[in-house]
Amino acid sequence: MPELPEVETVRRGLLPVMEGRVISRATVNRDGLRWPFPAGMAARLSGAQVKTLRRRSKYILADLSTHETLLIHLGMSGRMLISGQMLGAFHHDHPAPQKHDHVVLDMEGGARIIFNDARRFGAMDLFASEQAEHHPLLAALGPEPLGNAFDEPYLIGKLKGRNTPIKSALLDQQIVAGLGNIYVCETLFRARIAPQTKAGALTTDQVASLVPLIREVLAEAIEAGGSSLRDFRQADGELGYFQHSFQVYGREGQPCATPGCQAHVARIVQSGRSSFYCPTCQR
C-alpha cells in the first residue's frame, strides 16, 4: 500500500492540473470501490473548482468551491493518472478506456485524471469540508511527521512506558500519521534501533533521534518520487526510485550496508508484517 511519500508524490503531480481548476465533467463507472461511492458523486463533482489539494496521512483531500471535500485513498493498487496535459517535455494523449478506470475527471484546460484501481481496495468519499476533521478515516490520526506538531517532546511523551515494540508503535497511525512498513524499517536502521525493542525501554535520546531521522527518510523518498514495488506509479505514469536506496527493506540475506559490518540483513514477522534489520548494527 502506498505510504506517505508515494501519496505526497501523487498529490504534487496532480497539483498543476487540479488546484485552482474546475472539474468540467466527472464520470463514475461503478457504484464504489472498497466502500460505496456517495450518492450523486459525479453530479456533485462536475462544475466544482478545486480550491486546495492537500494531503492528510495517506489520503489526498481536494477542497472544492462547493464547500465539500473529495477524499481519495489509493488502496493497494490505485493510480491517479494524467493525460492530455503537458508534463515536462511530453504530451500524454487520452488513452483508450481501461477495464479498471473507475472514476474519470475531465478538468478545465483539457487534462484528464483517471482513478484506475485493479484490486478495488481504494476509496473515494465526498463530504462537507467543515466536517473533514471528524471524518471516520481522519478523526483519530496523529500529527503529520513533517509538521511542527511532531517533535521530540511529543514523541518522547507518546512512547513513555509503552510495552509495544518500537516498530509497531511507529506504525500506529494515532501516534504519527502516514508512516508505513518501508519507511519505519529504514528509519530504525538509521537510528540503530532493533525493531523488536520495547518502545518504553528506549532512552530519551534514542526516541528524540527518531524525529529527525523519520523526516530525513521521508524527505529523501519524496525527492525520489516514492518507492515502486508493485503497482505504484506517479501521476505521470513514471515509477518511483527510492527502492534503489533501501538499506534494509526487502534485503533479507544481503550484506549490511554499514561499512565494515559483516552481518547480513535479517527478517522477522511482527503483527503480520515483515521487519528487516541488521542484527549487529541494530540492538
Catalytic residues: 2-3, 58, 273
Q: Using an 8 Å Cβ cutoff, are 240 and 226 in contact?
A: yes
Taking residue 31's Cβ as centre, other Cβ atoms within 10 Å add up to 9
DSSP reduced 3-state for 231: coil
Rounded CA separation 59/10 (Å):
10
Beta carbons within 8 Å of 69's beta carbon, 6+ residues apart:
61, 62, 63, 126, 127, 128, 129, 132
Taking residue 43's Cβ as centre, other Cβ atoms within 10 Å add up to 10
Beta carbons within 8 Å of 156's beta carbon, 6+ residues apart:
204, 207, 208
Cα 119 versus chain centre, distance: 17
Q: Residue 24: is it exposed, middle or buried by C-beta count within 10 angstroms (0-12/13-18/19+)?
A: middle
Q: Using an 8 Å Cβ cutoff, are 196 and 167 in contact?
A: yes
